[in-house]
Chain A
Amino acid sequence: MSELAPAIQARNLYAAYHRQVVLSDVSLSLPQGQWTAIVGPNGAGKSSLLNIVIGNLAPLRGEIEVLGRSAESQRRAGSIAYMAQRENMEWDFPISVRETVMTGRYGLMRHDPLWQRLLPMRWSHPSHREAVEAALDAVDMADYASRPIGELSGGQKKRVLLARALAQQAEILLLDEPLAGVDPPSEALILSTLERERRAGRTVIMVTHDLPSARRQADHVLLINRTVVGMGTPDDMLSDAMLARLATSSEPEPLAGGVRVAA
């Protein structure tokens, strides 16, 4: 394991959002092939960290590497599957469950021959459709494949988003609060699916507020509150003492010279 490059490595990372510092001197190394839970209060920069990895937020300073290379090249190589929070999506969009999951393959389709990219999906390479059907089966949504996504319940929507990330068959699964607002059966299904992916050698990185599942499932817990508070085993990191330290660790600071905007 030791020669494996870290899944995500950050060195002295600074980032601001709406002129408010959200990450300050963050250095971390998340191991490949394991399950890491990222825990911290609201506004602690957890989602910002993911946003930097997916290229939606540019860091002010510092470096970030994914699997030993730049995040940008890994995104284009399709190594990063991202599962967004449900609130960020257009659920009105005229698209079916199956097509939504298929969008997880869109990055890989760049490498298909041109004629396949210009034709409807049924002429695309069978591997795309197979990956989509397998992902739908994994989250138990195959029966809903032809439904418009707007008709699904909250838990089902989360499962579809997870299926889309699975369909990408990426090395790293990056999940932004996969368990928020999910009914218990869906939660169990999501956790067991992620567990299977981790056993298959994939890296699972999830931002979460759900401490019981983090304690039970994760190999590592990263505590973050604008800067790294701690990284270690779930038992060490989720102790009362560490959680108390997490809550009080960092005062919000405005960006130097900038206007302070309420977070």
Chain B
Amino acid sequence: MSPLEGLSLDIVEALAALLMMAVDLLPESVAAPFAYQFMQRALITSMLVGAICGLLSCYVVLKRWSLLGDAISHAVLPGVAMAYLLGWPFFVGAFITGALTSLGIGALERHTRLKADAAMGLMFTAAFAVGIVIISKIASSTHLMHILFGNVLGVKPTAVALTLLASLLVLAAIWLAYRPLLLYAFDPLQAQALGFRTGMIHYGLILLLTLTIVVSLETVGIILVVAMLIIPGATAHLLTDRFPAMLTISVAIGVSSAVVGLQLSVTFDIASGAAIVLVATALFCLVLLAAPKHGLIAGYWRRWRLGHAQA
């Protein structure tokens, strides 16, 4: 065992011990599965992924980057396959092809007549197809399934440590660049006029998005990660008109759907990634109906009252 692996094992065990103090407060029937180490690792990973997806999803939703998130997540596949082929950590390969594809999309958009959606659709399906071709040559179909749909119950300690590191990186970047990022998301023209380097902010945000997607692979998989990059932010947007509150709510939704989804996937023996996404979707539907200001019921109520007042 290398010193790095030893260190990551220590960190993961310390985190797991902390987490178990909270889990032990829960009723026995809920807490029981988490006595296993693999469940503890799965819990840590999904909570981290829920948190950073929640953070990034605010920017994705407000900047209308949903399709870009989808594109990057698919473009990660050939990178994973090539990393597997070369014996690299799959994080590295995924990051390279994800970043390359987002650069390619930007270049197509700027230098041709193609619009953004066509540029994205073209680039990511091509990258995805390359990935499938490579995988169908070298690996088993279970391996492909794990990449596509995640395999959080099989997460290794080194992967947990990497997820932690990436999460801290994303958190630090968003904190340090909070105001430039906010201004860029809100009003890029104003950011430009104030002398901010908007090109750097743009690609920095895309890099953060790529990093988040790569980190989420083991938990929710390539196909469903985009859901975690849209739903928490979209739900939070319905609940608040203040950006810091939106970030907080979005993280809370990301983490709680990850935890509840994981629990459900163990209880009912269903795919964990899909369970997490479905819990998040259920939360969204609830909020869509019942949100105090931007919810459907509140909207109908306002219209009904208006009609009533005029009658």
Which one of A75, A95, A103 lies within 8 Å of B242 (CB-CB)?
Answer: A95
CB distance B187 to A94 under 8 Å?
no
Q: A54-B192, A55-B192, A107-B196 are known contacts; what are 10 more A-B pairs with Cβ within 8 Å?
A: A78-B195, A90-B187, A94-B237, A95-B186, A99-B242, A99-B243, A103-B183, A107-B194, A120-B244, A164-B190
Chain A residues within an 8 Å CB radius of B245: 94
Chain B residues within an 8 Å CB radius of A117: 179
CB distance A106 to B193 under 8 Å?
no
Which one of A82, A90, A94, A120 lies within 8 Å of B193 (CB-CB)?
Answer: A82
Kindly supply a per-residue 1/0 record for chain A positions 11-38, scoring 1 wherever the CB is within 8 Å of any chain B CB and 0 otherwise: 0000000000000000000000000000
CB distance A54 to B193 under 8 Å?
yes
Q: Is A148's beta carbon under 8 Å from chain B?
A: yes
CB distance A96 to B194 under 8 Å?
no
Chain A residues within an 8 Å CB radius of B244: 120
Contact A106 to B186, CB < 8 A, known contacts A82-B193, A118-B175: no
Contact size range, B: 20 to 34
Interface of A is mostly: mixed
CB distance B194 to A88 under 8 Å?
no
Kindly supply a per-residue 1/0 record for chain B positions 138-160, scoring 1 wherever the CB is within 8 Å of any chain A CB and 0 otherwise: 00000000000000000000000
Q: Is A235's beta carbon under 8 Å from chain B?
A: no
Q: Report which A residues bind B (CB closer than 8 A).
A: 54-56, 72, 75-78, 80-82, 84, 88-90, 92-96, 99-100, 103-104, 106-107, 109, 117-118, 120, 148, 150, 164, 168, 174
Kindly supply a per-residue 1/0 record for chain B positions 236-253, scoring 1 wherever the CB is within 8 Å of any chain A CB and 0 otherwise: 010011111110000000
CB distance B189 to A56 under 8 Å?
yes
Shortest Cβ gap from A205 to chain B (Å): 13
Q: Is B62's beta carbon under 8 Å from chain A?
A: yes
Shortest Cβ gap from A118 to chain B (Å): 7
Contact A75 to B176, CB < 8 A, known contacts A89-B187, A106-B183: no
Kindly supply a per-residue 1/0 record for chain B positions 188-226, scoring 1 wherever the CB is within 8 Å of any chain A CB and 0 otherwise: 011111111000000000000000000000000000000
Task: Identify the 8 closest CB pairs spanning chains A and B, nearest first.
Answer: A107-B194, A76-B195, A75-B195, A148-B241, A82-B193, A54-B193, A94-B241, A93-B186
Contact A55 to B193, CB < 8 A, known contacts A84-B187, A93-B186: yes
CB distance A96 to B241 under 8 Å?
yes
Q: Could you name 9 residue pairs across A and B whose Cβ atoms are closer than 8 Å?
A: A54-B192, A55-B193, A75-B194, A93-B62, A95-B241, A96-B242, A107-B195, A150-B241, A174-B193
CB distance B242 to A94 under 8 Å?
yes
Chain B residues within an 8 Å CB radius of A164: 190
Kindly supply a per-residue 1/0 record for chain B positions 62-84, scoring 1 wherever the CB is within 8 Å of any chain A CB and 0 otherwise: 10000000000000000000000
Kindly supply a per-residue 1/0 record for chain B positions 153-192, scoring 1 wherever the CB is within 8 Å of any chain A CB and 0 otherwise: 0000000000000000000000110111011011101111
